Structure formats: structure tokens, C-alpha cells
Structure 1
Amino acid sequence: MADSTCYHCGDDCGNHGVRFDDKDFCCNGCKTVYEIFTSNGLATYYEIEAKAGTTPNEIRKKYDFLDNQEIVEQLVEFNEEGVQVISLSIPTIHCSSCIWVLENLNRLHPAITVSQVDFPQKTIRVTYKTEDFSLKALVLLLGSIGYEPYISLEEYNKKDKKVDRSLIYKLGVAGFAFGNVMLFSFPEYFEVQEFWLDQYKVVFRWLMFAFSLPVVFYAGQDYFISAYKGLRSKLLNIDVPIALGVLTLFLRSTIDIVFNLGSGFFDSLTGLVFFLLLGKFFQQRTYAYLSFERDYKSYFPIAITRLKSSGEEENVQIYNVEVGDRILIRSHEIIPVDAILIKGHAEIDYSFVTGESEAVFRESGEKLFAGGKQLGDVLEVEVLKSVSQSYLTQLWGNSIFSKDKVSHFQSLTDSIGKRFTITVLTIATLATVFWLIYLPSMALNVFTSVLIIACPCAIALAAPFTLGNMLRIFGKHKFYLKNANVIERLAKIDTAIFDKTGTLTTNQKDAIVYEGMELTEEETALLKTTLRASNHPLSRSLYDILKSNAIMTLDEFQEHTGKGIEGRAKQHSIKVGSAAYVGKEASPSMTSTAVYVSADEDVKGRFVFKNTYREGIGGIFGELGADMDLGVLSGDNDGERQLLQQILSEKTEMAFNQKPEDKLEYIKGLQRAHTVLMVGDGLNDAGALAQSDVGIAVSENINVFSPACDGILDATKMKLLPKFIKLSKSSVKVIKMSFLLSLCYNVVGLYFAVTGQLQPVIAAILMPLSSISIVVFTTVATNYLGKGLKNIEI
């Protein structure tokens, strides 16, 4: 038992180990975790990574403060109808096994519904039911399996995160050591024989050895750790050849000075690590800059209706909403803040947060949580917390709405990196064998030079830098994408489908004519109040022309997606929508979009819309039609078919009277043979947006946030859509050119390395320079491509 290691955590078992199930454990805690995992079907944890666990601590009394509900209220992000959502910091997350088991917590306890790990931040976001379960129980469960969370109210209230400066420290150590080792190497460089041989040769050599130790075991440790984890997981990552080169140089140099065979290659070794870290520092700073600029959270184009003290309504961007503001939440709007309900009857769908679609009902004075979607009539709420952009982006990235839209180019990058590493190791081995036979003294130089010069770092950088910078450029022009993978999918689109109302048309310039019996004042007020609760573009247009009428409180509101809306107050009702919805047979001669109105089940008349199409729609379809198939799906009648045929490309297929489920099925049918882009307004098109390969919601400065979409396009930038698609295709070409550039560099470098003409220190300088050149090339190329957008700005 003394020589065995723990099956769970890998620590030495010592003399007090535990034997269970033919396996050794260092303590009863690790044995218990093993039992928990195996009895709940989580034994795969050990198959992913052996000895991946951490020893659990005894923490039962430590978290008694979580029995205090006031403290829990401060920690949880969401707490409604027996469901809570919490984000916890887990410092012990370190490998793929950790991710796997933490995202399968629902198999350890049925109350846990969803758990998502953010590996870089070492956090987990858990959604759980509070019936017979609590935050304290969750924390104890995590602690019992070795993933004790770090909880601090002070940390939760801090806005600024600690900056990780470890790379700067390592770069400083490597640079200091490199300079001193070069200094100690000068006597040999200048062949100062008497001084070197007679007095200080041994001292200088051992000083160089001493300076190399912190470089190898501190500054360069990340490369060894990454290579070890990769090999342990049976993966060849790009750090394997680097770690092998550093280790080879260090061992060979140490042998040289121990047996007095020479001064070794400590100058090359320290130089290699220094230049590697310098390249890594440059890459990190550049990518951090790009990430900051392209951060869609800063540009989220969602607005909210705020009530002024005078009672007037104004549209403001959500990050301008402050604590104490009064805001309106219409039907199907997302609640962007924690708030107190002031007026209205809340019927909240929290499925965006919890995945549970059952509506929650709330009355005046009760608290509403951010992330819920109002299903009923308009609400007036008072803001309790300022808007959290990051919270809304969590909704956008919720696994409930995720779909397996695999990025081809990302997998291609990984595949090339893996094959490249295998090729490099093969070439290094063959070249070393050759030189061992013909000139053994050259073998080590050739081996290390090949490993260093042919590192596939540049290949791995091409896609993230290209797509990251393009994401930033798109964001500057008000086209906000969920992630970089959307650009890759957008580049493969061969079919584009558009919704009509609210997408091709604008509600800013509609001409509306009323035909029918005149509405009474009470009916008009009820109509306006009902329209006020709806977010549909036609409802917003009607609402705007009825501004002079009074507002009343609705007793009941219902919106039937794709059909119409209904409001009730003081035993009177009003319906607004399609002819069939209000009980009227549509006129076959009707050629315009019309919204019918009935009061107390009596059809009163209709509002006829002379739709105004967005400027440049014909040009958009003309440009797109040159390269792809086009289509229009509309829930309206086909009265404007002839007008659309005049405006749009001849190739455009049109389908009218389409219900939301019809649109979804239409997209699904196209996907059997095509890669489909769906462009809609995010309301009736949510299903089609989610089903499509790329779904884009057009926003007209209203809160129509849809987690189903992959991107949001500001309506004023609709003209740029063909350019955005072309830029996506050009981005892929830039990635391919980067691959070619990196390949050329490696072929030339390998020739000099294999033939023994390249010294390791020169290779160490050239390798990070190749990575930097890729970063510069992709950044300059994408910035150049992005300049084309400025030339066609509206």
C-alpha cells in the first residue's frame, strides 16, 4: 500500500490507505467519492482522465450561513416558483473529467436540472429546484465530491476581477535569465581561452545551469503541464513538441557540464523559452484587445420603454436604465432587470432561465426576476437593479437554446494541428537517426531545431484571430453575432429566407387607412391599450397613430402568435388580427395587408396597411440572388405578391399565409439539400430562426430579444447584409491563406533544420515570429476587408 497511488486523486496512499473494489484510495473521502460516482453511473469520469479527482474536505459546518435566506437572496441570480439559479466559483476545476462530472450533477441529485461549466473562469452555473433541496445542500454535494466552491459575499459584490499577471512574471524571469546566460557565454563566443580555461570555466557553466532552472521549471512549466495533460488524455497538442525540445536541450546541456563535455546549450534553452513567452504575451495582449472590442455585450441593441415623470414614453437602450426607473414590459418582451411589479397582471415564462415553460403569475408589489418573458398584457415595473449585460448574454448562450451547429473550420484547425504534430515528431526522429549515423555531433541540434521551428502554433492562431477581429468589425457596424462560429456557418450559406412584416417592411413609415364602422371612444381606448401590450410591428404602427387616446387597465390580455391579440376590460373585449381570427371572411380582392378589429365579438372594420419596404431591399435581393437561392415567408395574405415580384429578384420564391410552425417546417425541408440563412424579426420567427443553420433577427430599436437567433442586425444596417455574408466568406479565405503562409514558413524552416544549418537559438526566435506574423497578417487582412463597409454606410 505504501507504494500505491490513489485511484481517485493520484496522491500517495502511504500507510493509511484504503482498499476498496480492488482499488487503492488515500482516504475514506476519495473512496466515498468513487462510490458516489460509480453508483450513479458516473464511472466514465475515470475513463476520461485517470486520477483526475481532488480529495474532498470536511465542510459540513463551514456553510451553515447558507441557512440564512437573506444571504442566499444576495447570492442567487434567480429565485422564483421553487427554482433557483446560482453561479459558483470552483477553484479545483482542472481537467476534462471535472467538466464532465460537474455538467452531470443532475445524475447525482434529481433536484438539479442544468449545470454549465465555464472552464476558463473556473465557475459553474447551476439551476435547481428548491423542494427538498437548497443552496447549502448543493454546496455540500459539491464539497463531498471534491469540488468545494469558494463563496464570499465580498467577492460577489466586487466589480473588478483580479488580473492574472503570471505570464508577465514568467516572461521577466526568462528574460533576466536569458540575458545573464548570454553574458556568461561571452568568453566562449569570443574564444577567450586563457581566462576561460584557467579560472572561471566551471563557475560560469554552473551559473548558467543555475539560471536555467527557474526558466525550465517555472517560466516554462505551462508547456510541460499542457503536454502532459494532452498525452494523458491521448491527445497530441501543440505543446508536446515544444516541451520535448525544452526538455531535450536541458538534459543534454546538463550532461555536458556534469561530464565536462562542453558548455551545453543553456543560451539556446533560455532564449527559446523567453521568445516563446514573448510571442505568447504578444498573442495574449492582441487577442484580449480584439476580444474587448468585439464584445457584443457593449453593443447589445435591445431597447426598453421607459416612462418619464410626465408620463410620456421613450425608447432607451437597456444599459441606460437605472435603479428606480419605471419601465414598460410588453407581451413577449424579456424582463431585462430585477424589478417590482407596479401595474398589470404578470404572466411570466421563465423557460429562458430554467427550461420550465409553465407560466408564473404575479400581482402588483411582487418581485420579478430578469430573464423572464411576459406573456400577458403590458406591465409597469420599477427597476431594483441596473441592467446586467452579462446576464442577458447568459440567456443567449443558455444550453436550453443551444443547437449542434458544428463549426467545420474549427474542427479543421484542430485536425491540422494534430496531424502536423505527428508529422513534426516523425521528421525530427528520422532526421536525428540520419545524423546519428553520419555525424552524431549534429544530431541534437537537428532534433531540437526541427521541434522548435515546426511548431504548429501559427496554424492554431489563424482561425481565432481572423474570426475574432471580424466579429469586432461586425459589431462596430451593428451586426452582433453570438460567437465566431456563426461567421464560419454564414460563409457556407447557399439559401437565404426572409420574413416579410417587420423584416422587409418598416413600421416607421407605414400609411394606415381605417375602413369600417366608427369605433366609440371606449372601444378606441381599449384598442389602444391592447395594442400597447403587443410587440408585433403592425401593433406598434397602429399604437403610434392612436397616441391621443386614453389608456385603461386591462383585466385580461392574450396574444395568439401568428393570429392576433385580444384585450378585455370592464366586461368588454376587443380583438385585433387576421380576418379569420376575428370571425370575418377575408375579401378575395384584398391586395394590401389588413388588420381586422372586432369589439365584443362584433366585427367593426379593418386597418389597411400600405406597407413601406425598407430602402435598398431590391438591391439586397439582387446582390444575394447572384450567389444563392432566395425566398420570402409571410404570415400575411398574398395581396402584395405582384409588388414584391417587381421589387425582388426574379429567383425569389414566395409563400404566404404561413403560420410560425409552417415557417419552421419550410426551413427544415430546405435543409435536406441546402445550408439555410433565416432573417426575421424575432417574434413569429423564433422556431424558424432556431431551426436554420444561421438565424438573424432584425431589430428596430424595440426589445425583441430572442435566444433562438444566432445574431442581431440593426434594422438601419439591413443594406449591409450581402456585404456581411461576403466578408464571412472572405474571412474563411484569409484563414486558408494563413494556413498556406504557415505551411510555407514551416517547409523552409524544416529544410534548414533537417540539414543542420539552423541553430536552436535562431529557431527559437523565428518560431514566435511566425506566430506574430500570422496575427499581423490576419488582423491587417480583416481590417482591410472591413474598410469596404465604411464605403457603403447609410
Structure 2
Amino acid sequence: MASDVEDGVCFHCLQPIPHGVELSVAFQGDDKAVCCAGCQAVAETIIEHGLTAYYKHRDLDKPQQTPLLPEQLKELDVYDNPDVQSDFVRNTGDHSKQTTLTVNNITCGACAWLIERELAKTPGMIKSVVNVSNQRLHIEWDGSIIKLSDIIARLARIGYQALPFQQNQIEANINARRKGFIKRLGVAGLATMQVMMIAFALYFGVVSDLDPTTQQYLWVVSLVFATPVILYSGQPFYKSALKSIQAGSVNMDVPVSIALIGAYIASLYAVIIGRGEVYFESISMFTFFLLTGRFLELLAKEKALKFSTNRLTYMPNLAHREYDGGLEDIAAKQLKINDIIVIKPGETIPADGVLLSDKASVDESLLTGESRPVTKATGDGIVAGSVNQSATLRIKVTATAQQTVLAGIVAMQDAALADKPKVQKAIDHIAQYFVMTLLAIAAVTFLVWSWFDPDHALWVTLAVLVATCPCALSLAAPTSITGAVHRLNRMNVLVKGAQLLESVKHLDTVVFDKTGTLTYGQFKLIAREDYADIDTINAIVSGLEQRSEHPIAAALSQLSDQPISPDAIQNYPGQGILAEIAGTDYRLGRCEFIQIWHPNWQPKRQSNVILANRQAVLAEFQVDDEVREDSHDVICA
């Protein structure tokens, strides 16, 4: 029953809820926790259409067997609902759409090749690219020819479960896989150590004429320890191999599975008949090493995801929407075109829109990298992700969710990163033929050795399968490319396409962006002139700037450990601050703002922040984005 769902588990998909996620749906008078907005939307649709029987009759003991889409949902085409799609689908033309799907159980380039080949045969598909390293599928399709639910169903038929990409869901899937790998590694590691200890006794028995009864006993003990390794720890390889065979293809896990199972069956047969050779230690150790490699690969993927440049995570979850003269707080994803929203100073703008207020000063550094605020006038466009640096703003929404400029930039980046470089395309193509050729060579090897030396035919064949496993061929290229791209992203270098890594050696011209590249991207006090007591000036400036949201204010707000709080303060957006301290009026801001009191005064240097009272100018400050020390050397290199 649905009421028996454990705490900390998503009510809809039965997967662990990531830390910090607080989403829920109302079901039979109770609030049920869900792991992401996608599950929330689907669950609400099920409940809204009276299909709650799905939650009552599903098998909670087998969450992995819960169908991706229940039969009722298939009829409703819930993932084709425009309201549901607004969270993860971007319209790129009259009928063309783009999205990124999370595809479970992608293990190598062969999986990617199979998915891309299957979708390429699908009418209405424009483009499909699989990123093996982060298990994402970027697709573009013609909505007038095929529906997204049909694409997901087509992937399910070839054994791949696909869901709309959600950062929280990705992290939950990786956490679940990591826990599964740790359990299998633990079993394989402990069993391998025991089997190896017994193997040493058998090795010494070769030169010391080990008693047949003792040898048989050691074989049986080895069998007991090796069996969990083969039947439990090796399951990921068998499932992957079976899935690829069912889809009419082969991947690198096919020869691995044949080698493991073949060696185990042959060793088991030797134990039963009491003669021959057993290789329990070899298959146990091989399984442990393979699992270790897969586990390290998973950790690399997890680390890459943590530093992924998915800028949509900076978008606010709530928005202030006007209604009948009042304000209501709603989820940002529920905003509609033509809604009027209110943005308070310091808040991030949740949607694209048109400015209705007289003027605004916004920080667009998330989009442009430029740290200086941009001044906007009534009717100017405002982009989601910008930060309001002035007074409270009113904005009319023109685009939301996946239709915003920021979402478009992220989509272009994801599409570019998903596009494979030439070397990876060649490797993916070769890997398919490599595995097929390997199986053919193994078959020939078995036949030849069966003719010359039947006792060693099986073992030589298994050695060929194991030694020539194309793990490095299929995994090294995508993993190394993804690792390089994410390493560059961590260093604030945004790579538009992975294929650029191939051509970087031919570069002869480099164009630098100033902010955050040749400079630090943060305002800093460069120079100052003081015309009064410096300690008093610092205390006044710190006290005023600590009450300002302007990015320049951060560079001056820490000038004093004992800031003086103003008795009254008034903020003039884009100009400065007028304040009263102990009966004295002060102005702090631009030169033009100060010249209202001192029309003939001119700064001595390129100062952009000036402090003055009605009697005189007290100080001037030059605050700017500081140039990096090594910028000259970089440009001249």
C-alpha cells in the first residue's frame, strides 16, 4: 500500500530523497515526500486524474520493477503535457524541441551506439547524442511527428530507462549505484582474500604431493567463497551483456561475462569429477579488479557532476507575483507569460521579462561575466539569473523555465558537450567490430587448441577473452574527455564543444575576455585620496556601504572594524547614498552625485566613489576590477 512507503524514500519512484530536498504531494489527506519536481508533477497528475490505484497495487518490495510509466499514464501521455514539459523541454522552432534525458545503466560506448542507432531509425528524431560519462542523452525531435513519451517508450523497449534530467534525481541514482558497488566490492574483496589463501596451499601442493582428499577439500572451500563473487558481485557485467544481446548488439561486457561464467563452470566441473584444474582465485580476483575499475569510474562521474556548470541551479525557487493589488509567493516554475512579478533588492530574477519600473540596476555577471551592474530603463529586457542591485522592481514576464535566455545558454552548452569529437566517434564505431572480432577469434582459438591440446583449449580461450577485453578502448576516451572538460570548467574555462580539445594544438590566436580572466572579477579598492581623518572616513564609509546592495559596496564595507551606523539613510539607485550621522549630512557615490553640493569640485584621479558633507569633499576612492599579476605574461606568451 502507498501508506507503507518508508521515510526518506520518494513516494512516486521509491528512490532515496536527496539531502535538502523538501517537495511533497497531497495524497489521501497526507503530505507525501518526493525526490524532485519531475516526480512531483507526475504524482500530482496521477492523483488529479483519479488514478491512485497505481500507488495501492504496486509492489513496494521491488522498486526497480515499478514500470517507468503505468498503463494509465501511457494513455494520458503525461510527459507530453506542456505544463509538465515546461520544466525540462526547450522549444527551438515551430515544432522542434530539445531536452536532456537521464538514461540508467549506460556502461560503455556500445550502449551509446545502440541508443543512437535505435533513435536514428525513429521518424521525427532530429538529433540524439549520448554522453557515456554522465549517462545523459541529449535529443532534438519534431513534436508534430513524434511525442516525447514515444521516445521514452522506444528506449524502454531496448532495455534503457530514461527520465527527464533532474539534478537531484541524478545525484540520487549515483548514490544508489555507489552503495550497490560498495556492497559488491565488499563481497568480492573478502571472498578473493580467502580464495587466494587457499590457492597458496594448492600452489604449494604442486611440489609437495598434496593428498587428494585435502586437495578436494580445498577445492570445495574455494568453490564456496567464489560462488558469491560470481553470482552476486559479477551481476552488473551479466545484466549489461544480456541487455546488449537482447538488443541485437554486443558490448564489452559480453566477453567478460563469457570468461567469468565459463571459467566458473569449468572449475565447478573439475570439483565435481575430482580432477582437472580450478581457477576460482583467478575469476574472483578478476571480478574484484573489474568492479574496482567501474567503481572508480563512477566516483569520477560523481565528482564531475558536482562541478558541472549547470547554471540553472542558481535560479530561485520562489517568485513574488502580483494579484489584485497584492503579492503571493509561488514556485518560480508556475510563472506564466504576462505575469507581473516583484523583485526585491538583492534577489535573483526568476524569469525573462520587460522592466515596468522607471529604472533598474542589475548584475548580469552570471550570464556575461561582467561584474559591473547594467542600468535598465522602462521597457528594457531583463534576463533570468540577473540580480537586482537597486530598489524593488516590477517586471512583466515574457519567458519562463526552459524558454529563458539562461536556459538557452545551458542547453547550448549541454548540446555542445554531448556532441562527440571525431576520435570518440571513431572509437565507438570500432568498438562494436572489435568485440565481434574478439568473439570470432576466441571461437577459432578454441577450435585450434581443441585439435592440438584439448586439455588447455578452454583456458587459452578464456585468457583471450579476458586479456583482450576492450574496456580501455570503450571507456578511456569518453571518460578522459569528460574529465578534461569538467576540469576546465572548475578552472572557469567554459568549453563550448568537446571537439575543440582535438584542435587546441592548432590554435594561433586567443581572444581574452577581461572580467574574471585578465582580472579577478571582483571589485577592489585600487587607490584613494583622503582630505580628513582616515579612521573617521573609514568608519563612515563602512557604515554606509554595509547598507547597500551595490557590488562596489562590498569592496568598501570592510574598511573599518567599527563602522558608524547612520541615523537616517536614503538610497538613490545608480547615483549613491544620502545619510545623516550625528546631525551631519553625507553623500557617498558618483562624482555627479557629489557635485550637487560641490558643483566646481573635480576628482584628482579616476575615482568612482566620493564621500562628502555639505562643507567639503572628505575622500575619494578608485574601486575597480583588479588586473591579475600574470595577465601581462599571459598575453605576451
- TM-score class, shorter-chain normalisation, is 0.3 to 0.5
TM-score (norm 2): 0.46
